[in-house]
Structure 1
């Protein structure tokens, strides 16, 4: 039952009653489809119904209609509304944000941005000048909606919020909000996923919405609308910036530097509403006053939820530890950033566990309430938040010049392309990064030109520490509690990965220095990777050193253009220079006359290094015509798609190969793999799958795949897809998945259906054994970076670093292959050294030691390659790109199908 205060408050409004069959549903929502309790709205501002033909929350709004409504608002109030496009989604939909404020603030938008950037750098802005700016600025409050496409209500709430800000003539907060702040709404961060969800929902909708969770409208087919076109979770992409939706949004945030940022989400249908303060663990590199400010927002939201008799919770589940969320990344530039979560209707109506029916209109209303509550909080605390913002920068600079780490040096190294991309990635996020123009001494070592120098006496100091440090520590008490829960086989409270060090993800060396580093250097421009010297024209061949992503891209372009390319399994020396295994050899005689022009174009596009040679004499290692040099081909790649694949894994792999390697992939539904002719394909990839492939493929499907491999195909498994290869029934790879350490199945266990079982006498230790979980899996791995060593003698290791950092997210552990059964190409390090960063349960640490990360086997004329962890997770692990590319391209080159 709603409280009397709630009913009285809503009775002051005019209810928007839909003249359709849905009207009964929205009546059940206790007038949830109405706007803020005020019956005085400016008729000059168009309502949702006048533009789109329905009331707020009555339907789920398509992305193009969202834009149509905001265009109507901008046309009605051009002096108070501006729409700014910041990009296009993968599928070509507009990405835009909306600026709403007073006419004066809108006219002075450039001055607002300039003022915020002045506050961002206390090295050039004095305290007196900062105080003047604090008195005058109308800073941005940023509300970001719909990053997950099937979390639908926040986008409709964005339209409701905009209408209220422009049309309300009774809400006393609105003039203060518009005069004191600049409101920025990003109505939908993921239009591709949103429209995917709406299409499937409306396709399943009948005469009236069903609240039954087993109804088709509440069960999304694979893949869900949560993700973007490449099936990425955009809420994990903010610092790696792999997707256009994130890059454009993050660039816009950096341009405005809002003092408050909220990411509005949905969660499971059986919950209520969540808002800040956030849960532990809290990232130690954030400032104390940022967390203290979260309570101001929480109390304002709570006040309005109490007014309307709505339930909520705080300080649970959603933490502020991982820096790649939309609700955490802005905090590293001084913003107060937070997450809001609304129980989802996942449609227009859903029945909750207690029988209460939750209407979509109610979920829209709740996000509308917190949107206004957030803006109210900023308006009431504008000067405090601006002063905290300036203080954040001051203390960051001071800490960077006085702390235990005052600089990082990323040495020039074999994978210089990765070094350059690291510098460009940091620079694109407001970090000051230099590239040394000459060799220099620092930190007790010598460094070559082109090394990166990153001094920490800059405003981005805290951001740098959380991305560049090997480890971001969690609160010891929190970790101890997670260990206790794990010992009792209870779910832990770690929400996302616990390790994300950028140097490790790119597998490049980074040196921490205790003093500031000074050397001759040039500033790295945001997002700019330098192009190496263009090759001169060769008379015999061109050599492309292997081991960099840029070389993979060049290979892709060359193969797609039909050029003849060879690759050496081993390193070799030519002209006094040593070239790593895998290096490409492109003979002039075997290619068209336009070869040189093609390679110059490739270098400009990929930044690959290409060396022209006028003789073929090799002084050490395989000659160009050796049997250890294989001719590369242009393999057709089939990727298992649809159930039971993990959609993230399928999308991540496809993105890495198509957008980081520049090579096409064909998605093939698993159902087709049961019976399809795979003879046109040279490579088949099975992405991660928690449900497994055995049942989906069936015995005949597995037999067809095995036959295809034996005839010369290359089968690659990622993470839990390796279970199929290790299954004794398929025996594609002579490895077996292990039970959890010290836990074996009880062959002599009594029949649990017996009425009586033998009696036992237990002591404390025996009690622990008796209550142990008998599940086969090892303890869950939430996302730790592990160290793996590489067998440099195998062709899969050509050009691969001797040691790799692997982001582990599955607890599957496999037995090593015996020498007569295949090769353990990469294996995890010893128990003492396997954990490179993050948190790993003690049993996992011991069990994963020396177990394989990459296994390979020759099967008939084909090859089988298994990755026990997914090397393409979130497109993070560029340091694993070479070994993945080897599995694809060199695997196809080493297979021997009948020609």
Structure 2
């Protein structure tokens, strides 16, 4: 017995010595933190060193970026807690109802996330300091607290920034704001490899980093989550509590504990005389942030913002004449990080009690959301998203359901069947279900930081009903495997066209040199009806010996069901030799990038083609556009951007000549401004503002100017539009489409061309905030249009259907524009 006691004492003594002797980040790296930026592999090396040295730190790899950099989280706690980590995790999950258990957890679980924006680089430096302080001077807090630390959410963006800075910086660093080291080039280190803002991707999970992070996040469901950021160089530090609007599902406890955390931070900042602010700018509404997503999962979700960003470098002179250094920035983040752990440790029991209460969803207004399945591909995409977030769904039982109808925006009913999807709110993540599916988020304030509409039935293109009664449902395992067979007697193989999956299949056919056609008119064959846009792959167009084998192989890979037709003579409608059945030739596509474009918009296009359509594009720098031989390309895409310097008079003449020869020019968002009101283009800006409006603005009091200005803005609101679905640009759609409008800029109907998507005179915003003046410009305005020009055409997309890759129902418009318009014309 004495030997055992002596052994335990010796072990504790040895552990204490090893933690005291652990190297600090500066000792390990060989330079003081803040004196240079640390590249990602060295950050990983330090975390590996600590976890391999100490038994109260565990490192786990949870993923890998597009550029093959590893993603890690570090678990930091007491030795006893680390030894029982899996038990703590399960006990915590049992409090949510996600797994069965006794819900006895009393440990606070705090997740600290750093560097989601790659050029907000001080936070990863602070992450290393925070790790070191927790394992040395702050070990007492770890007795009842598990800290999960992600040192760098966005390694690709961080290294893009750090590598650039190291190449251009002065030695010693230059604090002059005009110095090159304070002027980061396009696309900056902020986004990830595909130039996505990962802080807007939590809910949509379009990026590999998000998908992998959410998987491990949902294994833990922490009580507190902090997302560390940076803002402009002249801003004081921002920390909780957040600004209005708060989403209505956020509990009083979540609000109040944010305030308690903020006061704890203030104590330390006051002592140092550091400036800070709270309750301004950063609200808790849009669900895809690193503060709101955790909040809707029961956590105290917060954003902390330090001055600096990509401009600050190692040190910069602010407008107030003070030098802001990387050391300062890291110290501030270190302080709030430690303060968060401290107050969480002191309130561990209360955090668990209130966390458990959050998962009582009995008071939610809507009990079930029913989505009618008219498109299996779309349904599968939605199920995949729900699976990512571990949200449960079932199939409806046949019968009539009533409630709020998303299509009509009124109380209504429809007949449900067992292919329709039901998502109930009486499940652990019921509040997140409400947030993602509610028809219209309640807004306490019109001044918000992001879009105010995102409802998944609109985004994914479903007719849906939100019911205040729980809808009867059951789970049906309806997974089907498509397995087509070769038919040597087939005159043609037929495939539907109404989803992005169909477009991906088409892209694969083209890349394998199979020539498909599409029909501009409906027809019937083999007792089946086929709609406009249907793909027809004729044996006559594909006379190579392996035609049947290859097309069946591709169709099975993409799970496309083919109909073999033995004759080109249709039972109804056009025959296959009709001029309305047009060939689709392999399209060579160029996308403009560079400083004239929004990096985010270019990234959306790039990501769409590479990862979803899986079809090659050529990336052309905007500075080279005027010198590029456009005749090499069939399609040119201009992402959202500002092209005044690129599309000058001579370049516009060149573009018009290329278009007339058969090219398809696709302009998205602000790119339309380069063609509006210009000679040779029929696009016209629509304005209804009057001189009286201007006079009223001039008399607005100073303190009301910001709030008054939002009357002219639409930053993300849903509007119902009308489609001419007889036009190829709208093939695969119904006659109505719900669009996410991102701008108050509107355009008149095209006088010369086709108004394929438009807002009629009775248009109103369906969901989200739209400024009272801006909304007046929307009725009788253009959404999607084609302006024929010679043998080619210009496609106008006023609203961006690829925005953040989450408005799934809009993506087929882009595929239609690329593959169905002018693709029958060989250059």
TM-score with structure 1 setting the length: 0.84
Contact 1:144 1:261 in 2 (8 A): yes
Structure-1 separation of matches of 2:552 and 2:471: 36
CA change 1:204–1:468 in 2 (3 A) is: same
Spell out, residue by residue over 1:33-86, the C-alpha distance to the aligned partner (whole angstroms, 9 max, x if none): xxxxxxx99552122233221111111111111111111111221x11221111
Contact 1:636 1:683 in 2 (8 A): yes
Contact 1:412 1:449 in 2 (8 A): no
Contact 1:97 1:186 in 2 (8 A): yes
**1:653 equivalent in alignment to 2:605:** yes
Spell out, residue by residue over 1:600-622, the C-alpha distance to the aligned partner (whole angstroms, 9 max, x if none): 54445434343333343422222
Tell me what 1:808 maps to: 741
Tell me what 1:220 maps to: 184
SS in 2 for 1:459: coil
Contact 2:111 2:147 in 1 (8 A): yes
Structure-1 separation of matches of 2:530 and 2:548: 20
1:252-331 residue pairs with structure 2 within 5 A? 252-331=216-295
Structure-1 separation of matches of 2:378 and 2:663: 31
Tell me what 1:109 maps to: 85
Structure-2 separation of matches of 1:745 and 1:460: 46
**1:506 equivalent in alignment to 2:457:** no
SS in 2 for 1:223: coil
Structure-2 separation of matches of 1:59 and 1:682: 47
Tell me what 1:10 maps to: none
**1:52 equivalent in alignment to 2:29:** yes
Contact 2:75 2:146 in 1 (8 A): yes
Correspondence for 1:425 among 360, 382, 385: 385
SS in 1 for 2:340: helix
Correspondence for 1:562 among 513, 529, 532: 513
| 1:260 Cα offset (Å) | 0.6
Spell out, residue by residue over 1:240-267, the C-alpha distance to the aligned partner (whole angstroms, 9 max, x if none): 1000011111111101111110001001
SS in 1 for 2:631: coil
Structure-2 separation of matches of 1:362 and 1:672: 41
**1:82 equivalent in alignment to 2:58:** yes
CA change 1:892–1:189 in 2 (3 A) is: farther
Structure-2 separation of matches of 1:354 and 1:686: 40
| 1:882 Cα offset (Å) | 1.4
Contact 1:141 1:258 in 2 (8 A): yes
CA change 1:767–1:440 in 2 (3 A) is: closer
**1:150 equivalent in alignment to 2:119:** yes
| 1:439 Cα offset (Å) | 4.5
1:407-422 residue pairs with structure 2 within 5 A? 407-413=368-374, 415-422=375-382
CA change 1:596–1:286 in 2 (3 A) is: farther
List alignment gaps of at least 5 residues for structure 1.
1-39, 169-173, 480-492, 525-529, 747-761
Contact 1:786 1:837 in 2 (8 A): yes
Contact 1:531 1:603 in 2 (8 A): no
SS in 1 for 2:250: coil
Structure-2 separation of matches of 1:424 and 1:108: 32
Correspondence for 1:876 among 800, 806, 810: 806
Tell me what 1:757 maps to: none
Tell me what 2:471 maps to: 517
Tell me what 1:824 maps to: 755
Structure-2 separation of matches of 1:43 and 1:217: 38
Contact 1:434 1:453 in 2 (8 A): yes
Contact 1:81 1:101 in 2 (8 A): yes
CA change 1:848–1:669 in 2 (3 A) is: same
**1:537 equivalent in alignment to 2:492:** no
* Larger displacement relative to structure 2 (776-785 or 219-228): 776-785
SS in 2 for 1:694: coil
List alignment gaps of at least 5 residues for structure 2.
1-16, 403-412
- Count of residue correspondences: 793
Tell me what 1:694 maps to: 644
SS in 1 for 2:809: helix
SS in 2 for 1:86: strand
Contact 1:646 1:688 in 2 (8 A): yes
Structure-2 separation of matches of 1:452 and 1:301: 46
SS in 1 for 2:747: coil
Contact 1:570 1:798 in 2 (8 A): no
| 1:122 Cα offset (Å) | 8.2
Structure-2 separation of matches of 1:320 and 1:765: 29
Spell out, residue by residue over 1:103-122, the C-alpha distance to the aligned partner (whole angstroms, 9 max, x if none): 22112111112112211118
Tell me what 1:848 maps to: 778
Correspondence for 1:376 among 335, 342, 347: 342
SS in 2 for 1:726: coil
Tell me what 1:167 maps to: 136
| 1:124 Cα offset (Å) | 5.0
| 1:180 Cα offset (Å) | 0.6
Correspondence for 2:67 among 91, 98, 101: 91
Correspondence for 1:780 among 704, 713, 729: 713
Structure-2 separation of matches of 1:210 and 1:816: 53
Tell me what 1:738 maps to: 686
Contact 2:497 2:732 in 1 (8 A): yes
Correspondence for 2:418 among 434, 449, 468: 449
Structure-2 separation of matches of 1:595 and 1:502: 40
SS in 1 for 2:503: helix
SS in 2 for 1:511: strand
TM-score with structure 2 setting the length: 0.92
SS in 1 for 2:181: helix
CA change 1:644–1:513 in 2 (3 A) is: same
| 1:435 Cα offset (Å) | 3.4
Structure-2 separation of matches of 1:686 and 1:617: 41
Tell me what 1:644 maps to: 596
Structure-1 separation of matches of 2:74 and 2:354: 26
CA change 1:807–1:260 in 2 (3 A) is: same
Contact 1:778 1:813 in 2 (8 A): no
Structure-2 separation of matches of 1:382 and 1:467: 29
Structure-2 separation of matches of 1:781 and 1:333: 28
Spell out, residue by residue over 1:615-657, the C-alpha distance to the aligned partner (whole angstroms, 9 max, x if none): 4342222222211111001111101110211111111111112
| 1:302 Cα offset (Å) | 1.1
SS in 1 for 2:164: helix
Correspondence for 1:676 among 621, 625, 628: 628
| 1:275 Cα offset (Å) | 0.7
Tell me what 1:61 maps to: 38
SS in 2 for 1:96: strand
| 1:599 Cα offset (Å) | 4.2
Tell me what 2:583 maps to: 631
Contact 2:625 2:646 in 1 (8 A): no
Structure-2 separation of matches of 1:383 and 1:600: 60
Superposition CA RMSD, Å: 2.6
Spell out, residue by residue over 1:482-530, the C-alpha distance to the aligned partner (whole angstroms, 9 max, x if none): xxxxxxxxxxx32100101111111111111232222342369xxxxx4
| 1:660 Cα offset (Å) | 1.6
Structure-2 separation of matches of 1:280 and 1:728: 42
Structure-2 separation of matches of 1:558 and 1:139: 54
* Larger displacement relative to structure 2 (113-122 or 501-510): 113-122
CA change 1:88–1:597 in 2 (3 A) is: farther
| 1:351 Cα offset (Å) | 1.1
Tell me what 2:823 maps to: 893
| 1:207 Cα offset (Å) | 2.2
Spell out, residue by residue over 1:170-192, the C-alpha distance to the aligned partner (whole angstroms, 9 max, x if none): xxxx2332211111111111111
1:426-505 residue pairs with structure 2 within 5 A? 426-436=386-396, 439-443=398-402, 445-475=414-444, 478-479=445-446, 493-505=447-459
Contact 2:51 2:59 in 1 (8 A): yes
